[in-house]
Amino acid sequence: MRKHKSVLIKDISSFKEKLLLWSQQFDDVVWLDSNNHHNISTEYDAVLAVDAMTSIQSDYHDAFDKLHEYQNKTNDWIFGYLSYDLKNDIEQLESNNFDGLGFPELYFFQPKKLFLIKGNRLNVLYLNMVADEFEEDLKLINAEDIEFKYLRNDVKIHLRMHKDEYFNKVNDVLSHIHHGNIYEANFCQEFYAENTLINPIETYKKLNNISRPPFATFLKVYDKFLLSASPERYIKKKHDYIVSQPIKGTSKRAEDVKEDTLLIEQLANDEKERSENIMIVDLVRNDLSKTAVKGSVQVEELCKVYTFNQVHQMISTISSKLREGIAPVEVLKTTFPMGSMTGAPKISAMKIIEELEETKRGLYSGALGYFTPEGDFDFNVIIRSILYNATRQYVSYSVGGAITAKSDPLKEYEECLVKAKAMREVLEN
């Protein structure tokens, strides 16, 4: 059982910074921040979950069944992630590529302390065993010093895959497309640094300040960190309403307003980008239909361009009505991994990209989010993210793009660099 308190906060922006700094004393931390993107519906402006009461950690074997059991048994708020490699639990697939990070493939925890922010109202949900700690915690949070500490990251980024090799592999994907094996594949590459120390919280703050995305995330699981500026929702459930919002189609920003407006128009009318997006919309419609009331799958928005600090993105919104008796985890299992990060047909695309990519994706292109006690959930797509294993002193970020029959390897490579720009700036100063 949880004890509930509601408090009005005068300066919510300052309080959010203090709250995140205060959270660093705990081994298990999930911070979600919508950065006030009111055009993308979120239940809360920001959420903090800390201090695990219970948790579940698993490799891919029977991972979704274990998560279903844990979610049912806990019957409470739980926070965590699904790594991309849980694909191996759903299909006869493997992940044999290099892994420098070593994150568990699935991790969720039940927080003792939960903070939900909407507008200037803070709702606090503490488990009864720690409920009497709230007043003292609030004093400590308000006493945090949020003066910006400029800590220079001395990071030397390396490419796991050099430019010529990237071109060759994109041409391999195009060969598969021309032979009819797939229509589209999301092909990714890793950038990394070894023997490197970074300050996770300051690095996250710098990344978030640059990007201000609607699904920003700070995750800490002991010595492992996710610092995410994700603009993409994977899937959300509220009662029997399911919504997925895949991103396919990216354009750079311009400082000049007229030029920026022209870039929006060009992206909205780009035949290649629209075809990428529509292929994934069809894939998501098919995935949602597995758990939907017949005839309830709808495309609410098709190829709408949204603007973010770093890029313009083409987003579609697909919804469905959940059939009675379908467990929440079943919705995840029948739609995972998300089509925007795999390709079409999904299984064939996953086999091909596993052969061609150099790195095990792990958290990258997985999903992070939460379940409520009522079985509702909301998960982002882990992209535009820095991953860090402090013990191994290994830093990584990956970027990718959809390869279709009309793809130009050079343009695909340039799009990767646009997507990587914020992470590289933050790490290399």
- Of the candidates 317, 321, 332, the residue with the CA atom closest to the CA atom of residue 377: 332
Look at the block and give the residue holding tokens 């949020």: 146
Rg of the chain in Å (alpha carbons): 21
Rounded CA separation 203/313 (Å): 24
Query: Which residues touch 363 (CB under 8 Å, ≥6 apart)?
Result: 81, 83, 84, 101, 103, 226, 382, 385, 387
Rounded CA separation 161/176 (Å): 20
Rounded CA separation 389/34 (Å): 25
Burial string for 102-136 (b: 16+ CB within 10 Å, else e) reads ebbbbbbbbbbbbbbbeeeebebbbbeeebeebee
Rounded CA separation 62/70 (Å): 12
Determine the Cα angle at 269 with ends 211 and 236, to 5°. 50
Rounded CA separation 286/300 (Å): 15
Rounded CA separation 296/319 (Å): 8
Rounded CA separation 43/32 (Å): 11
Q: Is 258 among the residues known to form the active site? A: no
**β pairing state of 311-321 and 247-252:** antiparallel
Catalytic residue (choose from 248, 333, 360, 419): 248
Q: Is 94 among the residues known to form the active site? A: no
Token pair belonging to 365: 């292109």
Look at the block and give the residue holding tokens 């009111």: 38
Catalytic residue (choose from 202, 232, 273, 357): 232
The DSSP output letter for 308 is: -
**Would you name the residues annotated as active-site residues?**
232, 248
